Structure 1
């Protein structure tokens, strides 16, 4: 039988894994745990302390699960490392969902979890790894953990290990794409007379400096210079408004990539180009990057649709590589992992400072992997 503290923790896991931090209340945690409101303060001072406890808990569990990596050589140890990551993700998926949301809000925990992963990964290679080497391997593995667990399927571990150790995109027609010398064009929707456009523009501007949870419909309507009634003509509620904001961001990002995709480039060259473009798009608007990532808890159906569309598009860009569809899908997930964690490392933890150096180095590892 669970004690009171365990009931509170389990209730918090259930709620925080299905809703953003801001949308969960102490009252709701207690009601879901079937305990009185006041008793929760015997164990936790406030909601943030509960949340941080859960973040610490998943880090402790990851550390314990990855504390002993087995194998006679790098390949065997790397496979054990990947297998244990997948096992833990399946077992602790709710806690990991909480962590994925909290990694932006409480950055100190992202730095803590990286130390755990780095220590374990260095036990695989039995040497100190460069920051870019760790990034290459971990960005791929962490993204694969989520994607394949969500889909309830298993990746081809042999193909994955081979890709991590020896690379997975090899052909390159251009040693230097000279991206800094080029101008890229972005489709921007404009219609100042359209009421829906005014609402979306006003709301997006507010979201540049405020958390979504703190924004009220009256803030949006005041900024747009319209009545509350006009808002409800176009949006059922604040959630449907946010859906539209994020769908617009997504459309703009996808058009940006598709419009600048070059059919004369190899897959490798185009995906280095994509990393450059994604950096350009988000560098002055981190909030857009964060909103899209938070969609996993705000509206999971839309988030999963995004992932499926990403994979579908990336598969279209891999025509020049000779692999079956299953392997190409794995490559698409690996590339998306690199782009996702590039955003975290540049915009949040700020581990990397120079974009061009990063692109040159990540190109090398996509081609060659980390063998020894």
Structure 2
């Protein structure tokens, strides 16, 4: 039996693959075979032929950032004439528009703005929760670390706790890139170590919040670094389960690809095949994370459909608004009606979920319609 077959058989039997075996998978070109294994593992978690999605909106509240990531085309330096901080009323309007189309989630992210005090975030969250019944799945670990820096001496745990009490429901996994400091120093030396990212996530887990994990490939990282990234996520999730914390920890994992256009870090775009392989290997390696999300924003809707055969059970967010990836020249947009269509074309039944991956409604009726981008079911 070939090494690849042995590894995949081992994974299907429910036994963990190690970092060396993970690298072996990355070195292989047997993508369809890995995809089939990932899909069968996904079906153990999710036996029903349902693919979920969430109706959400990205709100990029500021583009001012002082970590100067070489791969980012969105940020502006402090003091730039093109820098902005959205007025609260504009943020409120965007949230109301999201609710108007049946949305349930706000992914609010921006730069690490050194001019915003910590109270800006807690006050804004309180005002949002006072006005709206909406889930705030917001702020990357890098933003949280900046909040700690400007908080006048608060500990990381106190910063996260105060944000949670003010209305922050969960943390997205942005800024993970590659969880290894060799690559991090090369692409974003001011953003912090991989340990900083993980400390924020594990702090959120300790106080009862759930998070998502991510990985971005295509920075010139080694295959060993990709495997190590997955191992570190898996180990952190083990910690949640072993300590029986009051949180599912990493509720989902989302790999995607670096978009080089308009950035200071040039390179070739990662192929769809390499992305699909990475997705499949992630599902195989991360045996303790229930949900895997498609990255149609970077890969496009057609590849998005293929992900549902490579380990994904979720189509992600309808992305009513997205500015960071689109600043790098990638502008794939999917509205609610086309989300339903794409999931059905992949042979699955679409279902709307919330941020906790709880199903809100299943569109098992082909006559389910969307009017004016508001979800309705006949």
Tell me whether the two structures share a fold, i.e. TM-score over 0.5.
no
TM-score when normalising by structure 2: 0.31
| Larger helix proportion of the pair | 1
TM-score when normalising by structure 1: 0.32
